Structure 1
Amino acid sequence: MLETLEKTYRRPNAMNERKRITVSQKRQITIPKKFFQMLGISDEVECFIKNNSLIIKPVHREYSGEFAEEILQDLISQGLSGQELLEKFREINKKVRPAVEALIAEADRAASELIGNGDDQVKDIFSSEE
């Protein structure tokens, strides 16, 4: 059993490896190179707390196609097909991620400007009184 565990731990692509990491005085850590490479981390990670644990996950900036179907439907309805459809889809597809990131940044700014828990602002927006 121990031999099997050791082989699993030493396997190059094993996803159950552990390593103790020192936290600097500035609360910084260094991700081990092996982990960095195994996970394909580029320049950004997502960090959150789950079940009293700090989770660090790579952020992959590739567009995951959330709006691909809608984009294609729109382009097809405009009469595009073949190479023209493909080129226009690629052009629009490149603009989706920056647009989503801009919306998120705008929402973050709005949230940071909330006073209290935001209930008063919500009432102002959705109130039927004029």
Structure 2
Amino acid sequence: MAAENRGERKIISISSKRQVTIPQRYYELLGFGREAECILRDDGIFIRPVKEMQGEFAEQILEKLIEEGYSGTELLSKFREKSKKIRPAVESLIAEADEIAADGFCIPIDRLFSSEDD
């Protein structure tokens, strides 16, 4: 989102079923699809689009399965099985990174790229 849009505010209503409607402008600007991620932070909720990971690792998964000797319908079945594991694994890594960041753990950039000899 462009810097000029940060902090933009809009009041939205909540239905009796606890549903909210994302304003169309925000929906389009942020690239929402069929899912949104809802994160509880301090005294608020942060809602962001779930980025589709479909296809990002497809080629690597297929190469590995072919190397393992799969083909035909068995290849398709194994591909679907492996593909379903990508999103949970990435979400776990993101959650772990968020925890580390929340704890204030960081390495100064000069130490990150220096060698022991420096």
| TM superposition score category, shorter chain reference | 0.5 to 0.7
**How far apart, in 1, do the equivalents of 2:77 and 2:86 lie?**
15
Q: 1:43 to 1:118 in 2, by over 3 A?
A: same
Percentage of matched positions with identical amino acids: 46
Tell me how far apart the structure 2 counterparts of residues 82 and 32 of structure 1 sit (CA, whole Å).
42
Q: TM-score, normalised by structure 2?
A: 0.55
Q: Do structure 1's residue 103 and structure 2's residue 103 form an aligned pair? A: no
Highest relative contact order (Cα 8 Å, sep 6+), 1 or 2?
Answer: 2
Aligned to 1:59: 50
Q: Give yes or no for the alignment of 1:83 onto 2:78.
A: no
Write the distance in 2 (CA, Å) between the matches of 1:32 and 1:104: 24
Contact 2:62-2:79 within 8 A present in 1 as well: yes
> Structure 1: which 5+ runs fail to align?
1-20, 25-29, 47-55
Larger radius of gyration, structure 1 or 2?
1
Higher helix content, 1 or 2: 1
1:123 is displaced (CA, Å) by 2.7
| Contact 1:44-1:59 at 8 Å conserved across structures | yes
Does the 8 A contact of 1:72 with 1:89 survive in 2? yes
Partner residue, 1:22: 11
CA deviation vs aligned residue, 1:24-60 (integer Å, no higher than 9, x gap): 8xxxxx4269x4xx965545479xxxxxxxxx86435
Question: Which residues of structure 2 form unaligned runs of 5+?
Answer: 1-9, 14-19, 40-46
Q: What is the letter of the counterpart of residue 11 of structure 2?
A: T
- Post-superposition offset of 1:110: 1.0
The answer as to whether partners of 1:45 and 1:59 remain within 8 angstroms in 2 is no
Contact 2:36 2:48 in 1 (8 A): no
- Cα deviations by residue, 1:52-111 (Å, 9 ceiling, x for unpaired): xxxx86435x54221110000000011110011000000010000000000011111111
Letter in 1 for 2:111: K
Partners of 2:38 and 2:48 within 8 A in 1: yes
RMSD (CA atoms): 3.9
Task: Provide the aligned length of Structure 1 versus Structure 2.
Answer: 91
1:112 aligns with 2:114: no
TM-score, structure 1 normalization: 0.51
